[in-house]
Chains A and B, each alone.
Chain A
């Protein structure tokens, strides 16, 4: 059962003011409740929540390596099972840890079918080490390893479809959600935890420092990602999409304009072809997931 009142991720952590990942941690721990054990890979969340001897966690929490949170969680799950214990195991890992370096351990753990919930808080780059691109970085975002400049518009590759990769492993429950929709997030995390076997929830968690915007805008920007179709909130049960958040779509530039990582698309001159390429990504998402609410145009 979710606990709505007790904070299991407490004050005093050292995340930047307005950090989306910190809010994700608060909400996920709320949904998981006190009978859970958390595993975190190296990254912002691990660093800002546990500078020794401090910890913001009020549930048992263990730091794995950057690459092996899924393997550490597998071991805990196997040990608890042997002891007949019922605690829920929740992994909290960044997108770098999930989309890139953790892939082998994740694939193995999902293949073995451990009963855990893997949460990826997706801030779309390696933030803790200074904003390097990851497989989750969107097309054209400028990062320190995909810098926009005279020869480049930023990250050249599209965002990797991690939920589809895990659904292809036979994961019974896969979902995407966002800190901008806390009720949806709580519901999906509860459902993922209640589902036996390995489940995956990918949480969009904007990062004011890495994306370049004021911390007060974190929720507004997360909403714009959904309203433009660049992030889609959906649910997949046994590999089939069962629920999708529909929107009246806005042009992608309303989202892009809010962040310094996309500034080069507007300054010094507007890059129409690049903005059109990003609009095409949103259009493709809209078609694939059927997110468009069609408005009846009144004459």
Chain B
């Protein structure tokens, strides 16, 4: 691999690395229980939880590593971790 001058890289190029493949447990978001507090989005170490136009929160499974922080911290217990079938 040729190195760029200063080993520079395109900003955010890490997105090419789809860390969702690391996952063992998958967070399932129950929108019925959700109070839209946004805690899951704030605390996700991947920054992969997004709010859609209706204010609903969903993880981007391409990057979610299944760490379970969102499920433990959700005040409404709206997120459950399920063993992922692959």
Contact = CB atoms under 8 A, between A and B. Distances in A.
Interface of A: 7, 9-15, 17-20, 22-23, 26, 49-50, 52-59, 179, 182, 214-220
Contacts of A22: 45-46
Contact of A58 (B11, B16, B17): B11
Given A216-B72, A219-B73, A54 B42 contact: no
Given A215-B68, A216-B71, A182 B9 contact: no
Interface string B37-68: 00000111111100000000000101101111
A220 B72 contact: yes
Contacts of A55: 9-14
A243 to B, nearest CB: 21
A18 B71 CA distance: 12
A219 B69 contact: yes
Interface majority SS on A: helix, strand, loop or mixed? loop
B5 interface: no
B14 A26 contact: no
B72 to A, nearest CB: 5
Contact of A7 (B23, B47, B69, B72): B47
A297 B62 CA distance: 52
A215 B67 contact: yes
A58 B22 CA distance: 23
Nearest to B3: A52
A220 B48 CA distance: 20
A217 B68 CA distance: 8
Interface in B63-86: 63, 65-69, 71-73, 81
Contacts, number: 105
B15 A11 contact: yes
B18 A219 contact: no
Contacts of A217: 72
A272 to B, nearest CB: 31
A132 to B, nearest CB: 23
Contacts of A20: 45
A10 B14 contact: yes
5 contacts: A12-B15, A18-B69, A54-B14, A57-B12, A58-B11
Given A18-B68, A18-B69, A218-B69, A182 B16 contact: no
Contacts of B47: 7, 9-11, 26
Contacts of A214: 68
Given A14-B19, A219-B73, A52 B9 contact: yes
Nearest to A15: B45
Given A12-B18, A53-B1, A58-B12, A17 B67 contact: yes
A178 to B, nearest CB: 12
A209 B14 CA distance: 22
A218 B44 CA distance: 11
B8 to A, nearest CB: 9
B14 A23 contact: no
A56 B14 contact: yes
B63 A12 contact: yes
Chain A CB count within 10 A is highest, among B1, B11, B23, B44, for B11
Interface centre among A18, A57, A58, A214 (most CB of B within 10 A): A18
Contact of B67 (A12, A49, A216): A216
Given A12-B13, A216-B69, A216-B71, 8 more contacts: A11-B14, A11-B48, A17-B22, A20-B45, A50-B9, A52-B7, A54-B16, A219-B69
Contacts of B43: 23, 179, 182, 219
